[in-house]
Amino acid sequence: MSRETLTKAMAELEEEQVLAGVKELLGNGAASLEIVKALQEGMVEVGNRFERGDYFLSELVMAGEIMKGAMDLLGPHLTGQGTEHKGTIVIGTVKGDIHDLGKNIVIMLLRGSGYKVVDLGVDVPKEKFVEAIKETGAPLVGMSVLLTSCQPALKETIDVIRGEGLNTKVIIGGNYINETVKQHVGADYFATTASDGLKVANEVFGQ
């Protein structure tokens, strides 16, 4: 199975094909990060169809389940070799947003690459982000958001972190996030895919 076929199967929510494709690609020696990328492209298409009204919440949930199954297969191949942590990263989905799929994929990739990740979950109030940064001293905090209506919560959270004088870098992630949103909310980095998130972490931690 090609990467393109895997992306299409993911977008079409063909669970058996997706799982078989992941196994086949792994068996053929494909890089696990490349497989994740193909799956993510399928997920982006699922998100687009949802926004257009072609897919509904049930399809989104199903896509999440398929992705979870695929990531379970990929998990062992993404695991970092050493037990030494490269550093600590705090991640959560901002207040008002309950989407955790993108966040969970990023976390799996980061942990697989040797980072210690503190997962705050979804619908996280700004105080909880501040508390976690103070407790862990994490130099990087990730905020996930899928809903455009949660942008003010994103900005407020970053403002509070800055207001507390915390010297932590902020990366925001989500389907619609771009340079304009990054500037508007005051983040240091933005990522639209999990692999971009990993690149930023490697940059911040000097890997």
- Domain assignments of the chain as residue spans, ordered by start: 3-77, 88-205
Domains 3-77 and 88-205 share a fold: no
Per-residue pLDDT of 1-12, as tens digits, reads 899 999 999 999
The highest-level CATH class for domain 3-77 is mainly alpha
**Pairing mode, strands 189-191 and 116-119:** unpaired
CA distance to 78, 100, 117, per residue, from 193 (Å): 16, 14, 17
pLDDT value at residue 28: 93
177 sits in which H/E element? none
Q: Choose which CATH entry (3.40.50.300, 3.40.50.280, 3.90.79.10, 1.20.1050.10) describes domain 88-205.
A: 3.40.50.280
Per-residue pLDDT of 35-58, as tens digits, reads 988 988 888 788 778 778 898 878
pLDDT value at residue 90: 96
pLDDT value at residue 81: 43
- Are the CB atoms for 119 and 87 separated by under 8 Å? no
Which residue positions in the chain have pLDDT lower than 70? 79-84, 112, 207
pLDDT value at residue 120: 95
pLDDT value at residue 207: 65
